[in-house]
A = this chain, B = another copy of it.
Amino acid sequence: MGLREIKKERVRKAILETARDMFFTRGYDETTIEAIAQKAEVAVGTVYNYFDSKSTLILAITAEDTSKALGDKFHIPESGSGLDGIKVYVNSFMKNLSMYPKRLLRELMREAWRSETALSKGIINQDLTLLDALSRLLRELAGKHKLKPGTDIEHASLTIYGIITTAIMWYAADDERTSRQMLESLEIMLQILFRGLNPEGGDK
């Protein structure tokens, strides 16, 4: 790696860390690009050489966090129902989330919808990691006969994903709501999903 590359890495990291710091303490809206540039000791234009936009910056920061949080730790307990398997997984995801100030979480939700084609970037993309992990998990559960046979795995993952997303959204939207409360209602919703809503208990 030449000097040029090294410098580039250094500058990139400086911008990223500075931005992260300021976003977490002051919030996204209150942090101007100019302030970031100043603290990172580069020009405004330089920030834009490294990141297409302010929202790219925050997305880059959080994407890194997410992939770290989801990366390793998900073990399915040998005993226990499918629900237990999911819960273990979801917990580490949520623990990561609760590190974020709510304000920032909201600003993040907002910015995630910014990219012209949201699918390729934005929140959806970050969530592809989650969705993917979920479907791997479900497939594994199905293999262990812990899922109703014939279940459409892709859609089941998407359903769980939707439930998780909803829990997060309500958590983020309401300053009063604690992460414990979020986890509790998430658990109830997952229970409902596993039990089903039909009265007979069977297929119907």
Contacts and interface: CB of A to CB of B under 8 A. Distances in A.
A38 interface: no
Contact of A202 (B106, B149, B175, B201): B201
Report the copy number of this chain in the oligomer: 2
Secondary structure dominating the interface of A: helix
Given A82-B198, A161-B166, 5 more contacts: A152-B188, A163-B163, A193-B197, A196-B197, A196-B198
B173 A119 contact: yes
Interface stretch (A9-17, A45-53, A64-72, A107-115): A107-115
A165 interface: yes
Interface string A165-204: 1110110111100000000010011001111111101111
Interface of A: 81-83, 106-107, 109-111, 113-114, 117-119, 122, 124, 145-149, 151-152, 155-156, 158-159, 161-163, 165-167, 169-170, 172-175, 185, 188-189, 192-199, 201-204
